[in-house]
Every structure is written in C-alpha cells, then in structure tokens.
Amino acid sequence: MPSWFKKVFNNDVAKPAPRPESAPVATAPEPAIATAPEPEPSAQPEAPEPSITEIEGGAKIRKLLSGHIVIPEEERLSWSEEIRIKACPDEEGATCTFMLDRPVLEGLSAWFPEKIWAKDVCSLAETLFKIKGVGSVMLHDTTVTVAYAKGRIDDWKALAEEIGTAIREQLKTDAPVIIEEFREGVPPQDEIRQKLQSCLDMEINPGIASHSGVITLERIDGNTIYITMGGGCQGCAASTITLRNGIHTVFRKAVPQIGAIYDETDHASGTNPYFKELPAGMA
C-alpha cells in the first residue's frame, strides 16, 4: 500500500493530515455572502439539483451540491454590463467559491497553489494573490475558488468583498485571463485519461482495496476531472482526506496541467462506509 494511503487510513495517526491544496471539492457550501446583486433565478437543467436550507430569520437559500455551475445559453445572451458575483464559503471555512454570471475561464480550469505559479501566466490569479489572506486560486468556467492562506477563517465577509471587487475590476479590463501558452500546453483528453487511469489501476485503487474502496474516473472535460468513490469510500468520513491528500497529489504528479478535480459521489447514500466518523488525529 502506498505510504500516503497508510497515513490517510491509519487509525493511530498522531497528527492531523496536511492540506496540500484547496481544489474545489463537490461539497455543499455554507450560506452565500452576496458580493453583488443576485441574478434573477433561471432554469439550469444541466446543473445538480439544489437543496433548500432554512436559515436564521426564516429566509431560505439554495445550497449547491457541486462547485461546477452550468449557465444556460439564453442567460449568457442576456448578461448585463455589471458583473454579478455571489460568494459561497465551504463548511470548513477553508475555501470560498465565487460564482459569476459569465465565464472566467471557459472550457478549461487552472489551479495556482502559490503566487509564483500565476506569475506571467494568469493575470486574474496574480491580482488575487496580492490580497492578504489568499493562499491558492482555482479558475473553472464561471467560478473562482480561493483558499485561505492560514487554513480556515470564521468569517469570509470582508475578504470575500475584497476578492469580489478585485475579480470584477480585473474582468472589466478585457485583458486575457490566462496566456495562450497555457491553453496550448494542456494535453489531449485521451492522453490525460490514459495517464490518470494508469494511476488508478497501479497505485490508488490497490492502495484503498484493503478498505473495500474503489475510485472511478467518470469523465474528463478539457482538463477538468470528475471522479466517483465506491465501496467503503462512499460515505466514508475520510473521503475528503483521501481526495485531497491522495488523489489530487497522484493525479497532479502524473499530469501537472490538470485543473479542477471534482468528486461527484453521492456520499449520503453510502451503505457501508469504512469510517462512519473520522478517527481522532485525522481531522
């Protein structure tokens, strides 16, 4: 079993697992912090079905079940001059996803774990890294996901407003968000699939098989990866750790040009999770 899987699934781990990156995970975000007027609701047949959650005061908000938001063509044709943004922090307070009413990086995704990675490559990410507290930046279609540099933050409001303003001002310049060389450097989807499937077959799945788990590569969209977790990984309390500390690391080592990695597993329907609760020392 690979050493990092031993660390992930060892009940006697003495210290918390590290956070190597903050790519968006398909989890339900916390109540939205509006950084601009909310766009009129419209049908999004391709997007996951949202749930409705009661919040203080009796108001209701929509909690999206996936970080990837699909905007229908009719809404794209009716965009206003003002760029509208909604900020949704995750439950842990580690990341905040900014959902825009238009594409930021259409057809691709890009992950920048440090400001040096964005230098002379992505003007938007460079701008965001100038804001105190920004630790990493992920761009994908109509979303920008920012991770807090110090692990987590209890109240994203002030930082979210500053980030939202920076995104809006940067996009108004009409300057390219990312250099053309980045797009040209993304391998063909068939090549990406072959390399990632090899990682699953040779390293990841053999490592989690002892815990009755299996990871399936569902599809690839440009350089964005969608996986599902089965067996003991479905509903497992350590599934997020497995994704961030294991799958992300192995996948990005095999194909550095990949961007977002989404887990589309319905963990709520898991019937035999390996860990029903996260063991002490693995939080």
- pLDDT tens-digit profile of 114-139? 999 999 999 999 999 999 999 999 99
Spatial separation of the C-alpha atoms in residues 256 and 101, rounded to whole Å: 29
Give the mean pLDDT of 203-232: 91
Q: Model confidence over 2-14: pLDDT tens digits?
A: 443 444 434 333 3
pLDDT tens digits for range 183-204: 999 999 999 999 999 999 999 9
Cβ-based neighbours of 68, under 8 Å, separated by 6 or more: 26, 47, 140, 141, 143, 224, 260, 262
Average of per-residue pLDDT across 96-108: 93
pLDDT of 16 > 50? The answer is no
pLDDT > 90: what percent of the chain? 48
d(CA 113, CA 277): 29
pLDDT digits (tens, 9 = 90+) for 145-183: 999 998 888 899 999 999 999 999 999 988 899 999 999
Question: Of the ranges 19-33, 42-56, 188-202, 216-230, which one carries the lowest mean pLDDT score?
Answer: 42-56
Angle at 188 between CA 234 and CA 129, to 5 degrees: 70
Sign of CA dihedral 191, 226, 88, 92: negative
Backbone φ and ψ for 240, nearest 5 degrees, come out as: -65, -40
3-state secondary structure of 52: strand
- Can you list the domains of the chain with their CATH numbers? 33-46+60-184 (3.30.1370.70), 187-269 (3.30.300.130)
Give the Cα separation of 240 and 163 in Å (integer): 26
Tokens of 270: 């898991």
Give the H or E element holding residue 96: strand 95-100
The pTM of this model reads: 0.69
For residue 21, name the pLDDT band (cuts at 50, 70, 90): very low
Say how far apart CA 197 and CA 186 lie, in whole Å: 17
Predicted pLDDT at 219: 94
Question: Where does the pLDDT of residue 274 fall: very low under 50, low under 70, confident under 90, or very high at 90 and above?
Answer: confident
Buried b (16+ CB within 10 A) or exposed e, 120-139: eebbbbbbbbeeeebbbbbb
CB-CB contact of 94 with 147 (8 Å): yes
- Rounded mean pLDDT, 76-87: 69
Quick one: pLDDT at residue 221? 95
Q: Across all residues in the chain, what is the average pLDDT?
A: 77
Assess contact for 108 and 185: CB atoms under 8 A.
Answer: no
C-beta of residue 189 within 8 angstroms of C-beta of residue 220 = yes
Section 252-259 average pLDDT: 95
